[in-house]
Structure 1
Amino acid sequence: MIDFDKIVAIDIHTHAEEPCCGHRDDGYDEFQAGMAKYFKNPAGAQGMLPSVQETAAYYRERNIAAVIFPVDAERETGFRRYSNEEVAQICAENDDILIPFASVDPWKGKAGIREIRRLVRDFGVQGFKFHPTMQGFWPNEHQFFPIYDAIQEEGKIALFHTGQTGVGSGMRGGMGMKLKYSNPMALDDVAAEFPDLKIILAHPSFPWQEEALAVCQHKPNVYIDLSGWSPKYFPEILVKYANSLLKKKMLFGSDWPAITPDRWLADFEQAGFRDEVKQLILKDNARRLLGV
């Protein structure tokens, strides 16, 4: 089990980008090449992204705990998803450093609800990742509310991508991805309807940063993770709120492997965060949110 007193940080946002077994799905190489260009990460283009086991070794070496998940967007992208169960099993084998989240395409309805409950009860999954742009849905449509209700009843976390995305960036038609679905204001509805559901707004929410800050400030059950951007590019208002009103609601996240924690943490030191706030962001806020 993770010794949360001894680790130096909790990375709340890392990806299981490579399959646990078998080969990449058709079309996935082109998608990853686009992501690699966007994030200036040549490993993605070369098919050399880390496995979950390699991710565990990387984080163990740095004494950083990592929340890790695949992304299930089968309906919208046509890409075969990676197994939530296999990711969770590898996390169990590396439970000194990895924290299992999962991803269930919300379009799966009742089948998705059954999967959510099974993953929590049988595999120890602690939360679920949603990507409204990649999954092609408005998070505040009522047809998806039973999904959130199941997560709320299980006492787990819902993590939503917000803002612009590297997925499809620069590709023809943006790979069909529609940015509108990831406006964080849609999640204000979700937070209001499900006040006991712990919600994370992932990433600085460009171009809707102020909307994200407003939702996070207004709704006690909403947090923001700072993944997907180098801190040197954070908008001034985000740093200002992190240093004051929202200092207990900001979370460290890298977006590994697109951005490494080494790069993120180095830039974080120079980004204008107050010393007394850094520990909250790096570990204490996530520890409280995770209930550990």
Structure 2
Amino acid sequence: MNIDDLIAIDIHTHAEEPCCTPRDDGYDQFQAGMAKYFKNPAGKDGMLPSVQQTAEYFRERKVGAVIFPVDAERETGFRRYSNEEVAQLCAENDDILIPFASVDPHKGRAGAREVRRLVRDFGVKGFKFHPTMQGFFPNDREACYSVLEACAEEGVITLFHTGQTGVGAGMRGGMGMRLKYSNPMHLDDVAADFPDMPIIAAHPSFPWQEEALAVATHKPNVYIDLSGWSPKYFPDILVKYCNTMLKHKVLFGSDWPAITPDRWLRDFEDLPIREEVRPLILKENARKLLKM
């Protein structure tokens, strides 16, 4: 990847497994609910973009993309997309895709072994965790620290969903999802216990935006990505911190395919962000964090 040719780096995109027939694990209904929540046609008819299609989309726009599946099989029953397959597809499209992976932290030592193998054998650069979807508190040492210790030892980035989620939104019982797991304040303990491990708090963290800003301001290893929301809905306090104290720690992310980079970047143009800060958010902060 020639980083100088890219106009931006999207730190938050999802890998969807190609599927030509309806799934029997409830995933199609889940994606239809997500499409309704995000007012996005992707997922309504099961036609989600494959990793290869994602690469082609981002290549056309000269935007690099960090991409990952989500391992939430234990909690949701959805069959997980192979980390290895995603990493291999990233290797075939390494001009534009950056491989992250996902391991359910409840897997403990087995999960830790998977983390090490994915980093050493497949070049994975980071790991995505979704506390609400995977059903865990990030600061629960017994439940998840074996996996986080492996991430820290391998020197990779960890990315945690924070705040409300479109997962299960509007569905009966919220599809069993508990929002409490994704309060960003739980990451304060993680950042203190793993002070050299980069941690990204994903999304504007409604209704805990100020907690996320506090943690990112206090802990040098905590960053914030701006995915999952159109910038026109960003709270004023988030915009103020982007322009000032956290201008080197805030990252562009779309949440593809739920939100497209086209939509996000178009709305970002109208946001009152200082001109000298825009390139930091869109590319340079991610470039430094990813060591590109």
TM-score normalised to structure 2 length: 0.98
Deviation readout 1:265-285 (Å, 9 max, x if unpaired): 000010111111000000000
Distance 1:105 1:24 in 2: 21
Return the offset for 1:147.
1.2
CA–CA separation in structure 2 for the residues paired with 1:232 and 1:114: 42
CA distance in 1, matches of 2:19, 2:63: 22
**CA displacement at 1:24 relative to structure 2:** 3.8
Deviation sequence 1:64-119 (CA, Å, 0-9, x none): 00000000001110111000000000000000000000000011111100100000
* 5+ residue gaps, structure 2: none
Kindly report structure 1 stretches of 4+ aligned residues shifted beyond 3 Å. 19-25
Residue 187 and residue 153 in structure 1: after superposition, are their counterparts in 2 closer, same or farther (change >3 A)?
Answer: same
Partner amino acid for 1:275? E
- Distance (whole Å) between structure 2 residues aligned to residue 57 and residue 20 of structure 1: 18
Letter paired with 2:38: F
Inter-CA distance 20–218: structure 2 relative to 1 (3 Å threshold): farther
Quote the offset at 1:187 in angstroms: 0.4
Distance 1:110 1:40 in 2: 40
The count of residues paired between Structure 1 and Structure 2 equals 291
Matching residue's letter, 2:247: K
Please give the secondary structure, in 2, of the residue aligned with 1:263. Answer: helix
TM normalised by structure 1 equals 0.98
Q: 2:219 aligned with 1:223, yes or no? A: no
Provide the C-alpha distance between the structure 2 equivalents of 1:113 and 1:104, rounded to a whole number of angstroms.
Answer: 9
Listed as ranges, the matches of 1:38-117 within 5 Å are 38-117=37-116
1:240 matched residue in structure 2 = 240
Distance of aligned partners of 1:23 and 1:125 in 2 relative to their CA distance in 1, 3 Å threshold = farther
CA contact (8 A) 1:20 1:82 kept: no
Contact 2:42 2:258 survives alignment (8 Å): no
Q: Which runs of 5+ in 1 are unaligned?
A: none
Native 8 Å contact 1:31 1:168 kept in 2: yes
Percent of aligned pairs with the same amino acid: 78
Alignment of 1:73-222 (within 5 A): 73-143=72-142, 144-222=144-222
User: Aligned partners of 1:159 and 1:189: how far apart in 2?
Assistant: 15
Distance 2:199 2:261 in 1: 22
Q: Secondary structure at the match of 1:128?
A: strand
Once the two structures are superposed, residues 221-255 of structure 1 have per-residue CA deviations (whole angstroms, 9 ceiling, x without a partner) of 00000000000000000000000000000000000
1 CA distance for matches of 2:24 and 2:263?
29
- Provide the aligned C-alpha RMSD in A: 1.1
- Cα deviation, residue 42, structure 1: 1.7
Alpha-carbon distance in 2 for matches of 1:43, 1:190: 34
Q: Which amino acid in 1 is paired with 2:226?
A: L
